[in-house]
């Protein structure tokens, strides 16, 4: 296994001043690598190793690292004298809002935040204000950010979640300390692809909102069954809860309007982040006008507070406009390219896995894919936790990093192809995977 002496030195230094040595604890993984540069489909570490990158910083770099079109837009907004004024509006934020409303059917109007977590937090608060109810439904195996309502039930080990529950709800398993017990009682985790459990919770509690990724993309690629998202829409109408579709990972990566648009389902509120600005920090909350207008309700007791010193900062705002412009160019060239490479990757992987007689499936949506070492594509986290070979997945990821292919070294994490990836990158990656899996016997 390679060593990373310069990375180790930086980690040693940073640990003295930063708990864990990293600025987001999700980044604390082995091997400890400090990256120094990213360009297109590649990243370099401080020790000079180059990797074909499929992590994409947890998925925002859909055009590739430091995409020149986006970089030019950022440089030009900085040179234009634009600043963060913190008073009034700007032309830029209006331009971005119009672009998004034009392309996202669910977004009659939008607001801007800095991170996906801020946006999902505001969406839930809007839902509670609109419905005057407090309970929410979340997905076992979903991730919607770090705040109290949603920091739960992500990759819960099988022995902790216990037997499959349907119809019914799973216990709230926090992924953070410090969430008040009373708050936990308001949050009801259910399985993805399980409408009966949503109905079960709605019959027991006054539900303000259900928040779900349209594809579970924080545990690989778990797609909705045919009719599942439509079913959620119907249940939202029947039980008068707000349907929040969290497109922070799926949005713009699978299509400009988000995956809900592809599925033909219109949520009440929708949240975007990550790929919307190709790596710059901005998130978008959009939705039905009557809900969004709660931010400016004339009665202060009904008004939802939306505030943020850095909201719609000119740099990420310009980056988002440029990213969307790039995505719209040449009649969907970006999407055609990543779909072609995604198919190439899937075909190559399926051949390798079949030739080696491995029990495995490749799950993919466009540019996002993962290998599940089990005999079928999982329908929810419980299925995945019960059947996937986590050890083999983890070992493969670690070995690939040593071979110059960066799959994030946590089993089941999604791999992301970008517009900057080439046929050669895919061929190199497949070659490394074939050699490694063959060697692992």
Ligand X SMILES: Cc1ncc(COP(=O)(O)O)c(C=O)c1O
Contact with ligand X (CB under 6 A): which of 51, 58, 335, 406? 58
Q: Is the dihedral of CA 83, 84, 87, 93 positive or negative?
A: positive
Window 117 to 146, contacts with ligand X (CB under 6 A):
117, 120, 143-145
Q: Which of residues 59-118 bind ligand X (CB under 6 A)?
A: 115-117
Ramachandran region, residue 193 (left: φ > 0; alpha: ψ -120 to 50; beta: rest): left
CA torsion 132-137-138-144 (nearest 10°) is -10
CB of 124 to ligand X, least distance (A): 12
386: Cβ–Cβ under 8 A, 6 or more apart, which residues? 158
CB nearer to ligand X: give 53 or 246: 246
Distance from C-alpha of 334 to C-alpha of 255, rounded to nearest angstrom = 10
Name which position in 42, 61, 125, 249 contacts ligand X (CB under 6 A). Answer: 249
Query: Which residue in this structure is represented by tokens 């799926």?
Result: 250
Looking at beta carbons only, is 117 or 197 nearer to ligand X?
117
- Residue 290: Cβ within 10 Å count: 10
Residue 40 phi/psi, 5-degree rounding, is 60, -125
User: To the nearest whole angstrom, how small is the minimum distance from the Cβ of residue 430 to ligand X?
Assistant: 27
Closer residue to ligand X, CB minimum distance, 125 or 249: 249
Residue nearest to ligand X (CB): 116
Q: How far is the CB of 301 from ligand X (least distance, A)?
A: 29
For residues 268 and 293, is the Cβ–Cβ distance under 8 A? no
Number of residues that bind ligand X (CB under 6 A): 14
148 binds ligand X (CB under 6 A): no
Tell me how far apart the terminal alpha carbons of the chain are, to the nearest angstrom.
18
Other Cβ atoms less than 10 A from the Cβ of 363: the count is 18
Segment interacting with ligand X, rule: CB under 6 A, options 229-237, 243-251, 342-350, 399-407:
243-251
**Minimum distance from residue 344 beta carbon to ligand X (Å):** 25
Nearer to ligand X, 213 or 268 (CB): 213
Alpha helices in 224-313 (DSSP H): 228-239, 259-263, 289-292
Closer to ligand X by CB, 7 or 153: give it: 153
The nearer residue to ligand X, 57 or 358, going by C-beta atoms, is 57
**Binding segment toward ligand X, per CB under 6 A, in 80-88, 246-254, 309-317, 405-413:** 246-254
Give residues with Cβ within 8 angstroms of 34, minimum separation 6.
4, 6, 7, 10, 11, 45, 46
Kindly state the greatest CA–CA separation across the chain.
67
Q: Site residues for ligand X, window 204-233 (CB under 6 A)?
A: 213, 218
> In the complex, what is the shortest distance from the CB of residue 38 to ligand X, in angstroms, rounded to a whole number?
18
Which three-class secondary structure state does DSSP give residue 414?
Answer: coil
Q: How far is the CB of 217 from ligand X (least distance, A)?
A: 6
Taken as a whole, the chain contains a residue count of 441
By beta-carbon proximity to ligand X, the closer residue of 142 and 348 is 142
Using CB under 6 A as the criterion, which residues of the chain lie in contact with ligand X when the complex forms?
58, 115-117, 120, 143-145, 213, 218, 246, 248-249, 273
């Amino acid at each position: 296994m390679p060593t990373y002496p310069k990375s180790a030195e930086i980690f040693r230094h940073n640990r003295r001043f930063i708990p864990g040595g990293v600025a987001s604890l999700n980044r604390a993984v082995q091997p400890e690598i400090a990256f120094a540069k990213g360009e297109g489909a590649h990243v370099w570490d401080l020790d000079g190793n180059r990797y074909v990158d499929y992590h994409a910083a947890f998925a925002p770099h859909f055009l590739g690292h430091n995409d020149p079109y986006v970089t030019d837009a950022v440089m030009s907004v900085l040179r234009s004298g634009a600043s963060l004024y913190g008073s009034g509006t700007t032309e830029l934020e209006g331009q971005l809002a119009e672009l998004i409303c034009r392309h996202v059917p669910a977004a009659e109007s939008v607001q801007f935040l800095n991170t996906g977590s801020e946006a999902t937090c505001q969406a839930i608060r809007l839902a509670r204000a609109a419905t005057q109810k407090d309970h929410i439904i979340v997905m076992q195996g979903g991730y919607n950010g770090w705040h109290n309502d949603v920091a739960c039930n992500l990759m819960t080990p099988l022995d902790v979640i216990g037997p499959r529950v349907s119809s019914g709800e799973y216990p709230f398993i926090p992924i953070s300390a410090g969430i008040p017990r009373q708050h936990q009682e308001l949050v009801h985790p259910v399985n993805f692809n399980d409408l009966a459990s949503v109905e079960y919770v709605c019959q027991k509690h006054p539900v303000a909102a259900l928040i779900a990724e349209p594809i579970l993309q924080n545990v690989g690629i778990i797609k909705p069954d045919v009719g599942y998202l439509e079913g959620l829409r119907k249940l939202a109408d029947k039980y008068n809860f707000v349907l929040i579709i969290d497109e922070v990972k799926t949005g713009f990566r699978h299509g400009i309007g988000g995956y809900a648009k592809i599925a033909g389902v219109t949520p009440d509120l929708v949240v975007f982040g990550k790929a919307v600005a190709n790596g710059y920090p901005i998130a978008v909350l959009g939705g039905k006008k009557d809900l969004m207008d709660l931010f400016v309700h004339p009665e202060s007791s009904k008004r939802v507070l939306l505030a943020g010193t850095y909201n719609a900062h000119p740099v990420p705002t310009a980056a988002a406009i440029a990213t969307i412009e790039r995505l719209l160019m040449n009649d969907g060239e970006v999407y055609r390219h990543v779909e072609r490479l995604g198919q190439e990757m899937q075909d190559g992987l399926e051949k390798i896995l079949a030739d080696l007689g491995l029990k495995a499936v490749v799950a993919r949506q466009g540019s996002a894919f993962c290998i599940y070492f089990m005999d079928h594509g999982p329908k929810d986290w419980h299925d995945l936790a019960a059947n996937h070979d986590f050890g083999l997945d983890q070992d493969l990821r670690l070995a690939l990093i040593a071979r110059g292919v960066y799959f994030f070294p946590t089993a089941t994490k999604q791999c992301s192809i970008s517009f900057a990836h080439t046929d050669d990158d895919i061929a190199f990656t497949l070659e490394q995977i074939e050699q490694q899996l063959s060697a692992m016997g």
